[in-house]
């Protein structure tokens, strides 16, 4: 095998030699590396998130022509990968080829069929996302990071102009209204950056450069918001994907053979089952009180301030980690870290509760970032969404053994195809599976915690139902918000923020609970197959090591599809004959 390829000063990983190495293995991995290098070089923000810091001072080309060029490049790459004869690959490389093909077909469908980039001027979020990892992550020196922030801010005016070249189709009003709101919120985030710079020993020239860059960026953001406002009159309210395209997206997601109709049935069944579970937990807490009164009582048990709630999030996360280690439920790798911080202001309308940003795989000391949203639109009742039983559940989902642990382990796999794979039904499904598994094993398993677990599962069941029905064009934003409030008792601003998010991310919202159901089914199948040899820890470790793949791909890996075939004699599998 050739020496490692270097990209931006980082050595790219490559799977090791396979025992059944094929003559085309290296040619295939060369193709994978070539696309990875193209995608990362063309997108400096992605490079930063991955921990490749050669281009931290740049923003990507956001123009329409560039997007079209990337679609054409992916189509050429798809043809090249399809032309690789699987018979010339090892079993492991054949499996990696399947992942690469899956990634490409998904990416091309999103970019060239859905074409959301053409119907939404998403420049404000792009600016915030470009600054977020430089501001929140600990790499290099503060002077290096803030100099990169200043350089990216200086590029903001041209970057926003490039975004506007994409708008050749009517802009979706609901998305543009979010863009205008994000433009109002972004200056607060920029103010946090300037304030933080003032507390560091960066030197007066860098601080002044940063302040000037922020002033120009704020002016460009205001100008962009004004332009977005002009698109509303000629905009469209048609955001739904439509039944045919939705069905095709479900097929491309590789949901273990399930179609949209079957997934909708799962959502409706789970909604009923978790309502029953919540009612049972409420009855256990207070047999004489109506269920929803108990829910409101539990939501009233919260810290007095958001800062105190953040400390409770950190404490619950630490307790869950200790429980995992003590019970030997999964292997926790050495050196992993996660930080809990408030969600940046520009993201609060699209992340109304909590979210997690994965560690950068190429950083020498990667750290995960767990963000928690104080409130949406300064809602006075927002602290009720940070009630103590929910904090326990959210900590499991976002940190241990949820997203932080899963993604920390996943990024250590040497496959670049797996690193770029987008499979939220496993990533989000693992988070939800973790919630149930921890209760099964006895962590925070009192009735108030089980009530929170069922409440969160009701929310995710609603997501399945609403994701499908909204993008089939069967239900409006207003009706979907009413449905979510009715079933979850969310505060209305949070529920509306959730629903707005669903309009622009078809099949992502359903991934949470569907993924949990599929992982539980996979666990049951492994228990039946292995009998007394089944180990819960080994099952968990195997899933996490294999990365964030579609669950149907995990099923194939558990069946050994990536392993060389056993030697055969006279057409008989010798291992099977001995058994």
Residue-wise pLDDT for 230-256, tens only, equals 999 999 999 999 999 999 999 999 999
Examine residue 541 and state whether it is found in any structural domain, yes or no. Answer: no
Please give the pLDDT value at position 60: 98
Domain boundary among 469, 491, 519: 519
Domain boundary among 519, 539, 561: 519
Give 572's strand partners.
569
Dihedral over alpha carbons 464, 465, 470, 473 (to 10 degrees): 130
CB atoms within 10 A of CB 415: 22
Question: Is the same domain home to 79 and 225?
Answer: yes
Examine residue 534 and state whether it is found in any structural domain, yes or no. Answer: no
Please give the pLDDT value at position 377: 67
At residue 342, the 3 state secondary structure works out as strand
Question: Is the same domain home to 369 and 445?
Answer: yes
The answer to whether 4 and 12 have CB atoms below 8 angstroms apart is yes
Q: How far apart are CA 179 and CA 431, in angstroms?
A: 29
Domain boundary among 206, 231, 256: 231
Please give the pLDDT value at position 553: 97
Q: Which residue range(s) make up the domain with 134? A: 6-231
The alpha-helical segments, DSSP class H, found in 340-476 are 388-398, 403-410, 416-419, 424-440, 447-471
Closest CA to 383 of 373, 393, 395: 373
Question: Is the same domain home to 439 and 369?
Answer: yes
CB atoms within 10 A of CB 87: 9
Tokens at 21, concatenated: 């190495």
> Phi-psi region for residue 100, left (φ > 0), alpha (ψ -120 to 50) or beta?
alpha
Please give the pLDDT value at position 154: 98
Tokens at 432, concatenated: 């939800």
Q: Which residues of the chain have pLDDT under 70?
A: 1-2, 346-352, 376-378, 566-579
Query: DSSP labels for 343-405?
Result: PPGGGTTT-SSEEEEPPPTTSSS--EEEEE---STT-TTGGGGGBHHHHHHHHHHHTSSSHHH
* For residue 369, cis peptide bond before it (omega within 30 degrees of 0): no
Examine residue 564 and state whether it is found in any structural domain, yes or no. Answer: no
End-to-end CA distance of the chain: 36
Token pair 């302040």 is at which residue? Answer: 211
At residue 131, the 3 state secondary structure works out as helix
Tokens at 533, concatenated: 């040899």
Q: How far apart are CA 65 and CA 78, in angstroms?
A: 20
Please give the pLDDT value at position 106: 97
Angle at alpha carbon of residue 24, lines to 21 and 26, rounded to 5°: 80
Examine residue 65 and state whether it is found in any structural domain, yes or no. Answer: yes
Whole-prediction pTM: 0.91
Question: Is the same domain home to 210 and 251?
Answer: no
Domain count across the chain: 2
Question: Is the same domain home to 205 and 260?
Answer: no
Q: How many CA atoms lie within 13 A of 58 on its CB side?
A: 14
Cα dist from 116 to 178, 424, 443, 475, whole Å? 14, 19, 42, 20
Closest CA to 523 of 512, 538, 513, 510: 538
Please give the pLDDT value at position 351: 64
Longest dimension (CA), the chain: 79
Examine residue 362 and state whether it is found in any structural domain, yes or no. Answer: yes
Question: Is the same domain home to 15 and 87?
Answer: yes
Tokens at 519, concatenated: 């992982």
Examine residue 237 and state whether it is found in any structural domain, yes or no. Answer: no
Rg from Cα positions in the chain: 24
Question: Is the same domain home to 35 and 150?
Answer: yes
Please give the pLDDT value at position 572: 30
Examine residue 401 and state whether it is found in any structural domain, yes or no. Answer: yes
Please give the pLDDT value at position 571: 33
């Amino acid at each position: 095998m050739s020496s490692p390829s270097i990209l931006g000063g980082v050595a790219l990983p490559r799977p090791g030699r396979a025992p059944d190495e094929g003559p085309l293995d290296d040619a295939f991995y060369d193709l994978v590396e070539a696309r990875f290098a193209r995608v990362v070089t063309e997108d400096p923000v992605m490079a930063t998130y991955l921990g490749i810091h050669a281009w931290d001072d740049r923003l990507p080309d956001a123009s329409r022509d560039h997007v079209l060029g990337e679609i054409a490049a992916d189509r050429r790459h798809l043809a090249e990968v399809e032309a690789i004869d699987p018979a010339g690959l090892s079993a492991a490389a054949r499996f990696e080829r399947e992942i690469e093909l899956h990634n490409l077909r998904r990416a091309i469908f999103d970019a060239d069929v859905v074409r959301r980039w053409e119907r939404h001027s998403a420049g404000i979020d792009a600016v915030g996302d470009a600054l977020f990892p430089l501001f929140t992550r600990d790499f290099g020196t503060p002077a290096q990071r803030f100099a990169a922030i200043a350089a990216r801010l200086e590029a903001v005016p041209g970057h926003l102009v490039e975004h506007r070249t994409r708008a050749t189709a009517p802009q979706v009003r609901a998305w543009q209204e979010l863009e205008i709101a994000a433009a109002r919120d972004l200056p607060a985030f920029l103010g946090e950056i300037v304030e933080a710079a003032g507390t560091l020993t960066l030197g007066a020239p860098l601080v002044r450069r940063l302040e000037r860059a922020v002033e120009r960026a704020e002016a460009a953001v205001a100008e962009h918001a004004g332009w977005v406002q002009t698109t509303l009159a000629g905009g469209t309210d048609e955001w739904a994907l439509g039944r045919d395209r939705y069905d095709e997206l479900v097929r491309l997601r590789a949901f273990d053979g399930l179609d949209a109709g079957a997934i909708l049935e799962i959502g409706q069944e789970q909604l009923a089952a978790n309502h029953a579970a919540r009612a049972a937990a409420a009855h256990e807490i207070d047999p004489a009180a109506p269920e929803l009164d108990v829910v409101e009582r539990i939501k009233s048990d919260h810290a007095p301030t958001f800062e105190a709630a953040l400390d409770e999030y950190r404490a619950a996360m630490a307790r869950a980690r200790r429980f995992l280690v003590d019970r030997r439920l999964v292997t926790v790798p050495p050196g992993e870290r996660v930080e809990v911080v408030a969600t940046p202001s520009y993201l609060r309308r699209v992340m109304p509760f909590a979210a997690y940003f994965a560690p950068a795989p190429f950083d020498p000391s990667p750290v995960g970032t767990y963000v928690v949203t104080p409130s949406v639109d300064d809602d006075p009742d927002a602290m009720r969404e940070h009630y103590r039983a929910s904090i326990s559940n959210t900590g499991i989902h976002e940190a241990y053994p949820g997203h932080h642990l899963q993604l920390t382990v996943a990024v250590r796999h040497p496959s670049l195809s797996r690193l770029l794979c987008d499979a939220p039904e496993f990533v989000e499904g693992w988070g939800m599976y973790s919630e149930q598994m921890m209760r099964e094993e006895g962590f925070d398993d009192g009735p108030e915690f089980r009530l929170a677990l069922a409440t969160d599962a009701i929310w995710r069941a609603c997501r399945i139902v609403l994701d499908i029905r909204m993008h089939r064009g069967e239900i409006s934003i207003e009706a979907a918000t009413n449905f979510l409030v009715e079933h979850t008792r969310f505060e209305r601003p949070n529920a509306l923020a959730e629903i707005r998010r669903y309009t622009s991310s078809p099949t992502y919202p359903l991934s949470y609970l569907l993924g949990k159901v599929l992982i539980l089914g996979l666990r049951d199948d492994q228990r039946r197959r292995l009998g007394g040899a089944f180990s819960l820890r080994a099952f968990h470790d195997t899933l996490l090591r294999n990365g964030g793949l579609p669950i149907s791909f995990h099923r194939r890996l558990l069946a050994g599809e990536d392993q060389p075939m056993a030697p055969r004699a006279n057409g008989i599998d010798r291992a099977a004959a001995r058994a």
